[in-house]
Chain A
Amino acid sequence: MFKYVLQRILYMFFVFMIITFMCFVLIRMLPVPALPPNDPHTPILMARREALGYNKPYLVQFWIFIKNVFTKFDWGVSEKLYIGRNVWDVFVEKLPATMIVNLYSILWTIPVGIALGIWAALKKNTWIDYTISTLTMVVISVPSFVYAFLVQYIFCFQLRWFPFLMKGGTDYFSWEMFKSIIPPILSLSFGVIAGFTRTTRAELTEVLTSEFMLLARTKGLTKTQATVRHALRNCFVVIVPGIFGEFIGILGGSLIIEKIFSIPGVGGLTLNAINGLDYNVFILSTCFYTAIGLAAGLVVDVSYGFIDPRIRMGSKK
């Protein structure tokens, strides 16, 4: 198992490096943006560019970039948005806002989603099941900006319960802040709830109809005992990796929700970098999103192996 995990991590790192290399070269191939002529930072930035090898071959540039990242954790400085500031510092500043919104959102949605899924599966083919399944289907299809609109219009405008936008500042655990991030949390929640409901229902209905459940009932367990001890455990084999994946995903957040509620997070930073052509920020965002995507896949795969001894894919080989 350990060997398998190690293999996967190495492979992931390899893929990550190739993707970084491709994006890095594609970004460096773009025309180098001009610096503002009279800014005090300009000569320093020009010197930095020289040191980063802007007029050398791309392979050399990439080598310098990777060397800086791995030895000094230096991702370069922002040249447009936060002129002269270290990109990594800016990035770390933005991370908490994204994380807090997503964390709150999944903390309450995962239990609710799983509970709804279990309820629907236990009441299979009744009106409860039909209602939950149909709603799940509908909710999963509708894109998140529609929810954001509804939440903003109904709760923020008509009822005036919450402020429109996320509050500024860094007091992430104050009551005011919590109140101001309820709308984005709500908007994010619908999709997550529906996703977990659907997975749980599908898994649990399948487990409930399998033969060992019949055996469990035959040997005298009550329905509750059989469901909790046998059915749920088996259906969690699929759900738990999903939860892990979701937890990795909180780092990434949602670009759309961040834009609508003006959350000062990573997504907003990425969008600004794209629109303002701040390439150093954009490279960091690219690496970040790539790493998150790969890490989520890795965690899901590995946790399957840990939870369910039947699926130790690597150990067979």
Chain B
Amino acid sequence: MEYEKIPAEQFRFVQKDESLHDKALQTKARGFFADAMIRFGKNKSSVIATVILLLLILYSIFAPIISVYDIQEKDKLYVNYPPFVASVAKKNLGILDGSRIFRSQNDVSMNSWRGIAEETGMDPVLGVVGTHETQVKYRGQMVTRLVYDLEINAYYAIGIVYQVLPFAEYEKIQAWQNETGIQVIYPYVERKDISDISDNANLWYKVDSKGAAQLDADGNFIPVYSTREEIAAPYNSIRIPSDPGNYIYSFIRSGAAECRINYYNYFRYLHDGGEPSYIMGTNALGQDIFCGIGVGARFSILFAILVSAINLTIGAFYGAVEGYYGGWVDMTLERISDILSGVPFIVVTTLFQLHLAQKVGVVGSFLFAFVLTGWIGMAALTRRQFYRFKGQEFILAARTLGASDKRLMFKHIFPNGIGSIITSCALVIPGVISSETSMTYLGIVDLTTYAGTTIGTLLSQGNAVVTTAPHAMLYPSIFLGLLMICFNLFGNGLRDAFNPTTRGIDD
């Protein structure tokens, strides 16, 4: 096209009688936080982590409330027992059935399991896992015997235990038996009838001196329940089916009644008829782990949030002063934080525990230990942000207009750095939880009287019985691992979302 000679009539005014305006913005205005949230939402792994994190926090809030057992309830005998819920166990699904593997069970022990099953009506044997043949020497000859690996319901396996009851309690249990029809007290067996074996309450049949059952010709147990009425306290309650009516149910021993108690039913008596339901089993103190994890996590999370909030405040002020004034102020304050950050955390914790625990309590001194060195990272971060912004033109402009130092620091510089400061807080929380757990795990800080239990305490109790009761370590480990992973993923997601250099890249 020819541009040199354009005829005049082809020209026309862009505007003649109207004024020109910019068009109103068609796109929606989007703030800094909204933008960050949108970018956070695009990060799939962080979103998933956030959801799981919320679930874990909900767990820690509600588990202690919905749990059947309080954290202070410590069962004396159901200690380190595997997960068990009576209603699920009865369906034979293979889960939550309190099963524990007992290896190399010979005929004698098979009979003792049978004895428990016959007397209490609760068969502890869930199944046979394996059968092996072994050669044993019997009366000078090698004989092949079968031994079994059994899956045993640990809650039933305990069977009958001896318990010395005050007479009032004895009467109360009888009344409860009459009311519910659940047999707690079983007929008494005198020690002389069971070859003077005194530590096994599960013997109600004729045994030899080693505790092996002596069966009759048909292979049945021979009951040896005592009928000597003169040694027993009066008993007016339900009797076991095989009782002809003259069995005695207790033995008077130093002003109280010694009884053979079916522990499973005694547990129900103690818990108003409720059967044991430990979803995650019990720990070394007989506490419910399901409840314990919730209680511990609740403390850890609250404590971590409190610590981060305090450290954030102190660190922000300290870093602001350092970064804004610079020069010798910065120099001096940096030296102080250098010294404080050089003290190993374990030493700080120990010294605070030794010095302050009596005055301000264990939790208070633990909190001080965290606060003493915890703010340094936050201060360094704030200081960097201040160095970044304090030389920029808008600060010069504000200063020229007469803004005071305080106003410049907290109205002009601080809001610019707040994104990265807040997101680092999300990464501080898992750090605090981790060190808190380590310290309670190592036993340097003992929070059990204050918080009931903590994840670290649960883990250290579980670690002592890692071979016999792996569940006691497994569930707290899973919880802690998930909590850490989710907190870190969440924090990383936040950091990426608030990172100004990635802003608007993928819009």
Contact B463 A149 (CB under 8 A): yes
**From residue 473 to 487 of chain B, which have CB atoms closer than 8 A to chain A?**
473-474, 477, 480-481, 484-485, 487
A-B interface, 4 closest residue pairs, ranked by CB to CB distance from nearest: A289-B344, A141-B484, A141-B488, A141-B485
Q: Does A15 contact B (CB under 8 A)?
A: yes
CB-CB < 8 A to B45: which residues of A? 134
Not counting A26-B351, A143-B437, A143-B438, a sample of 5 additional A-B residue pairs whose C-beta atoms are within 8 angstroms of each other reads A23-B347, A142-B480, A146-B477, A259-B442, A286-B347
Query: Interface 1/0s, chain A 211-233, versus B by CB < 8 A?
Result: 00000000000000000000000
Q: Does A161 contact B (CB under 8 A)?
A: no
Contact A157 B467 (CB under 8 A): yes
Q: Which of A145, A271, A275, A290 has the most CB of B within 10 A?
A: A145
A157 to B338, CA, bound (A): 45
A50 to B346, CA, bound (A): 30
Query: Interface 1/0s, chain A 13-30, versus B by CB < 8 A?
Result: 001101100110011011
CB-CB < 8 A to B488: which residues of A? 137, 140-141
Chain B contact patch, size range: 35 or more
Taking a contact as CB atoms closer than 8 A, the residue among B343, B444, B470 that contacts A290 in the complex is: B343
A148 to B124, CA, bound (A): 33
Q: Does A282 contact B (CB under 8 A)?
A: yes
State the majority secondary structure of interface residues on B.
Answer: helix
How many A residues touch B, CB cutoff 8 Å?
A: 42
Q: Does A82 contact B (CB under 8 A)?
A: no
Contact B344 A30 (CB under 8 A): no
Query: Interface 1/0s, chain A 255-286, versus B by CB < 8 A?
Result: 11001100000000011001101000010011
Contact B339 A146 (CB under 8 A): no
Contact B339 A26 (CB under 8 A): no
A274 to B466, CA, bound (A): 25
Interchain residue pairs with CB less than 8 A apart (8): A137-B485, A141-B485, A141-B487, A142-B481, A153-B467, A271-B444, A282-B350, A286-B347
Contact B438 A137 (CB under 8 A): no
Q: Does B273 contact A (CB under 8 A)?
A: no
A residues touching B (Cβ–Cβ < 8 Å)? Answer: 15-16, 18-19, 22-23, 26-27, 29-30, 134, 137-138, 140-143, 145-146, 148-150, 152-153, 157, 164, 255-256, 259-260, 270-271, 274-275, 277, 282, 285-286, 289-290, 293-294
Which residue from chain B places its CB closest to the CB of A291 in the assembled complex?
Answer: B342
Q: Does B434 contact A (CB under 8 A)?
A: yes
Q: Which of A142, A143, A255 has the most CB of B within 10 A?
A: A143
Known: A15-B338, A23-B343, A275-B443. A143 touches B492 (CB 8 A): no
Q: Which of B350, B355, B462, B489 has the most CB of A within 10 A?
A: B350
Contact B437 A22 (CB under 8 A): no
A274 to B342, CA, bound (A): 19
Q: Does B354 contact A (CB under 8 A)?
A: yes
CB-CB < 8 A to B350: which residues of A? 274, 282
Q: Does B430 contact A (CB under 8 A)?
A: yes
Q: How far is the CB of B341 from chain A (nearest CB, A)?
A: 9
Q: How far is the CB of B307 from chain A (nearest CB, A)?
A: 17
Q: Does B380 contact A (CB under 8 A)?
A: no
CB-CB < 8 A to B441: which residues of A? 145, 256
A289 to B485, CA, bound (A): 28
CB-CB < 8 A to A23: which residues of B? 343, 347, 351
Contact B477 A289 (CB under 8 A): no
A143 to B485, CA, bound (A): 10
Contact A293 B344 (CB under 8 A): yes
**From residue 407 to 449 of chain B, which have CB atoms closer than 8 A to chain A?**
430, 434, 437-438, 441-444
A157 to B481, CA, bound (A): 21
CB-CB < 8 A to A19: which residues of B? 339, 342-343
Known: A140-B488, A153-B470, A271-B442. A146 touches B343 (CB 8 A): no
A22 to B437, CA, bound (A): 26
CB-CB < 8 A to B430: which residues of A? 141
CB-CB < 8 A to B443: which residues of A? 271, 275
Q: How far is the CB of B167 from chain A (nearest CB, A)?
A: 44
Taking a contact as CB atoms closer than 8 A, the residue among B339, B344, B347, B437 that contacts A15 in the complex is: B339
CB-CB < 8 A to A150: which residues of B? 477
Contact B344 A256 (CB under 8 A): no
Query: Interface 1/0s, chain B 183-200, versus A by CB < 8 A?
Result: 000000000000000000
CB-CB < 8 A to B438: which residues of A? 143, 145, 255-256
CB-CB < 8 A to B442: which residues of A? 255-256, 259, 271
Q: Does B459 contact A (CB under 8 A)?
A: yes
